[in-house]
Structure 1
Amino acid sequence: MIIHPICLVFLLTILCSSCGRDRDTLRQRKPKVVETIADLGALPRYVTDPEDNPSTREKVNLGRFLFFDPILSGSKDVSCATCHQPEFNYAEFLETSIGVNGRGTGSKRRFLDPNDIPFVKRNSQSILNTAFNGITNHETYRPELAPMFWDLRAKGLEEQALEPIKTLEEMRGSGYADHQILEEIIERINKIPAYNELFSKAFPTDPKPVTRVNLAKALASYERTLIATNTRFDQYMRGDSNALSTGEKDGLNAFLVTGCAKCHSGPMFSDYKLHTLGVPDTDNRAESDWGINQDYAFRTPTLRNLRFTAPYMHSGKFTTLDQVLLFYEDVAGGKILNPKVKAGSIDSLATHMDVNFKDISRIVEFLNTLNDDSFDKTIPATVPSGLPVVGL
């Protein structure tokens, strides 16, 4: 076929123009941003209290008793510590928890028979270091605004503390409506002389100190003592270059290069934002968990003390860190493990990650430098209600 000279000139003009546009596009395309160690950070050594709830020894003491006392549950059978156990980093070694109408602890916990109470909706998050939830580098930390829960539905430990008490499957049970249970709890506590004395010492300026507000403040004050701020990574960030091994430093670099720190950033290794990842649902519930915005988006969890807080993700579907990282490798490769989540809704921060099998062991080695087992695990021998400590 013979091409007319005029047509040839026209085609060459188009091709050159296209090449020019491609070169312009390449020049305009933003280079890949790789986070650095400056995007992470050591935790503060000390906790910041809200202005309206400064910590005192008396508040912490009261809060500890309340945390382990089943008096706060509708049927007096579970406590906060049922799903947040000291030996498991104040989390629980179950995919999703059994709250009311259950018996036993850990893997031995079972529902009583008969039972019409569902499993808790989501995996029990650790309370350890929640005193730092939402903390960022180079910004003033406001504890009253700290993001809480997998769906960010509460701010601050004071607001968070009362939500499990009001939730059917966690602590309330079916004997009380959600708008009745706190009034019932306060009435119970008022009838116990030891608690009246403890509340009076904790809140000496209140003529009637046993209130739901003070209940929340006492629980929050205790929870702010549950911190682990001296991991080897923290020591490294504070200037001890020998705190991490060569392999762990390689793992830190892999963590940054693969894109993990785009969401797992700051001193708590979390941006505290909601992301849609397509994590599989738990089999413990019949219904799918769509999330608070009906888009399967859940909050980035902290990566601190992961050794003690398996299983992982909001549904507790992954039992090891290797499984979590393999999941991210699948997501980046276009594989979606939750059939109810559409490909177009997966967060681009996850699809653009570059996690490879060869990186996984190195990253896990680094993540193990974020463990600190020196936190308070004290469990009171008895609680003022006289009920079994922790619960049934």
Structure 2
Amino acid sequence: MHSFLFFIGLAVICISCGREREPLKNKKKNEVETIEVLGALPRFVTDPPGNKSTPEKVRLGKLLFFDPILSGNKDVSCATCHQPEFNYAEFLETSIGVNGRGTGSKRQFSEQNDIPFVKRNSQSILNTAFNGIKNGESYHAESAPMFWDLRAKGLEEQALVPVRTLEEMRGHTYPEDKVIDEIVARIRKIPAYESLFREAFTDDKDPVNVVNLSKAIASYERTLIANNSRFDQYMRGDSSALTTGEKEGLNLFLKTGCAKCHSGPMLSDYKLHTLGVPDSQNREETDAGANNDYAFRTPSLRNLRYTGPYMHSGKFTTLEQVLQFYEDIAGGKIPNPNIKPAQIDTLATNMDVNFRDISRIVEFLNALNDDNFDKSVPESVPSGLPVTGL
């Protein structure tokens, strides 16, 4: 009798377990991406139809990029937050723009300060000439997606947005709708710039203008490319370009679901995704993104070695921390209290990142680095101001 009851009980337990596991059996598994969703970067840059590159434009754009003359208080340049030694990014969680002094980790606000930190982490300008590029599709440089929230298209439009932004380059001295006119007026008064603009834009009677200003900076930025990493060489057919460990990391990168968003030659789909990344504590207000849904653009994974900290808020200092974050998200942990579980992108919650795989994936990510790019800084700029800024 006891044996009979034991077997009946065992049968009930087995049936119950079977019912609990049934949804798992019927659960559709995520399709694993293949290496074909990735790609090597083009060997050459595509210019937009209205701004063909010339050496004269590039030369002018480089000087403007490093010249504080573009800022409201003449104390900060584009290069302040996009430094060559950091792959044209910056080693700060979020940047100190206007009213700051020093570079890198030593940069700080002046003692008398009412300017906030820059809202988001400074992304690298390297390879922005390829922003938005997709496998098998025509590339249009004039519509390339820019910024963490996609608020600009093309490098020409992107170039002057920081100049208009209070905490980045404008400051309190000039209103947003007047600062560009002030910058152009300053440049017109500098004979060296007047000459450089005439050399770069020979068809214009009055070449020093806002359109040409943006064209020159964009032309320089399109020269900042790093398109021959060992990963690029591997994708172009050199099977020996990656180590065994890097190949294993590549396979894990695909298997875990990373490539569902980090795809194409730039390893970014350039779409907005809500992930639950914690806010930076440098600003009092929470950063809800462009659409108030906490969605931000997928960043490129190229040249990550020197472009940390990572994510839009700069809250992760290492790639290992980034991958651990994705492991936590898949496990239901959301570090940003402003975001509900239902808001998190399912591409993130369905990822399968495990701690044991992280080191191999990081090993692969390091194969995306290419250190062969222009890191030179002008010895001086036409305004006579300190190169890069204070």
TM tier, smaller: over 0.9
What is the SS of the residue equivalent to 2:160? Answer: helix
User: Which amino acid in 1 is paired with 2:125?
Assistant: I
Q: Take 1:358 and 1:142, find their aligned partners in 2: how far apart are those partners?
A: 40
What is the SS of the residue equivalent to 2:360? Answer: helix
Alignment check: 8 A CA contact 2:30 2:350 kept: no
Q: Take 1:31 and 1:275, find their aligned partners in 2: how far apart are those partners?
A: 21
2:147 aligned partner: 149
2:89 aligned partner: 91
Alignment check: 8 A CA contact 2:63 2:381 kept: yes
Q: Deviations over 1:1-46 (max 9, x none)?
A: xxxxxxxxxxxxxx9xxx9xx89x94xx755311010000000010
User: Which amino acid in 1 is paired with 2:273?
Assistant: H
User: Which amino acid in 2 is paired with 1:251?
Assistant: G
2:315 aligned partner: 317
User: Which amino acid in 2 is paired with 1:170?
Assistant: E
Q: Shift of residue 325 of structure 1?
A: 0.2
Q: Take 1:145 and 1:36, find their aligned partners in 2: how far apart are those partners?
A: 28
What is the SS of the residue equivalent to 1:292? Answer: coil
Q: Take 1:84 and 1:109, find their aligned partners in 2: how far apart are those partners?
A: 13
Pairing of 1:213-252 with structure 2 (within 5 A): 213-252=211-250
Q: Take 2:341 and 2:381, find their aligned partners in 1: how far apart are those partners?
A: 51
Q: Which runs of 5+ in 2 are unaligned?
A: 1-14
Q: Take 2:30 and 2:108, find their aligned partners in 1: how far apart are those partners?
A: 49
Pairing of 1:276-287 with structure 2 (within 5 A): 276-287=274-285
Q: Take 1:96 and 1:371, find their aligned partners in 2: how far apart are those partners?
A: 23
From 252, 255, 258, the equivalent of 1:254 is 252
Pairing of 1:253-272 with structure 2 (within 5 A): 253-272=251-270
The answer to whether the aligner puts 1:374 opposite 2:368 as a matched pair is no
1:70 aligned partner: 68
User: Which amino acid in 1 is paired with 2:36?
Assistant: A
Q: Shift of residue 74 of structure 1?
A: 0.2
Q: Deviations over 1:339-385 (max 9, x none)?
A: 01111100000000000001100000000000000010010000000
Q: Take 2:31 and 2:349, find their aligned partners in 1: how far apart are those partners?
A: 15
Alignment check: 8 A CA contact 2:320 2:359 kept: yes
What is the SS of the residue equivalent to 1:242? Answer: helix
Q: Take 1:343 and 1:63, find their aligned partners in 2: how far apart are those partners?
A: 45
Q: Take 1:288 and 1:212, find their aligned partners in 2: how far apart are those partners?
A: 33
What is the SS of the residue equivalent to 2:240? Answer: coil
What is the SS of the residue equivalent to 1:235? Answer: helix
User: Which amino acid in 1 is paired with 2:389?
Assistant: G
The answer to whether the aligner puts 1:161 opposite 2:138 as a matched pair is no
User: Which amino acid in 1 is paired with 2:204?
Assistant: D
Q: Take 1:113 and 1:211, find their aligned partners in 2: how far apart are those partners?
A: 35
1:136 aligned partner: 134
Q: Take 1:118 and 1:37, find their aligned partners in 2: how far apart are those partners?
A: 43
2:42 aligned partner: 44
Q: Deviations over 1:122-154 (max 9, x none)?
A: 000000000000000000100001000000000
Q: Shift of residue 113 of structure 1?
A: 1.4
* Identity rate, percent: 74
Q: Deviations over 1:257-312 (max 9, x none)?
A: 00000000000000000000000000100000010000000000000000010000
TM-score, structure 2 normalization: 0.93
TM-score, structure 1 normalization: 0.93
User: Which amino acid in 2 is paired with 1:172?
Assistant: R
Q: Shift of residue 196 of structure 1?
A: 0.3
User: Which amino acid in 1 is paired with 2:308?
Assistant: A
Pairing of 1:64-213 with structure 2 (within 5 A): 64-213=62-211
Aligned residues: 370
What is the SS of the residue equivalent to 1:216? Answer: helix
Shift of the 127–351 alpha-carbon distance from structure 1 to 2, 3 Å rule, reads: same
Q: Take 1:308 and 1:132, find their aligned partners in 2: how far apart are those partners?
A: 19
User: Which amino acid in 2 is paired with 1:249?
Assistant: K
User: Which amino acid in 2 is paired with 1:193?
Assistant: P
User: Which amino acid in 2 is paired with 1:134?
Assistant: G
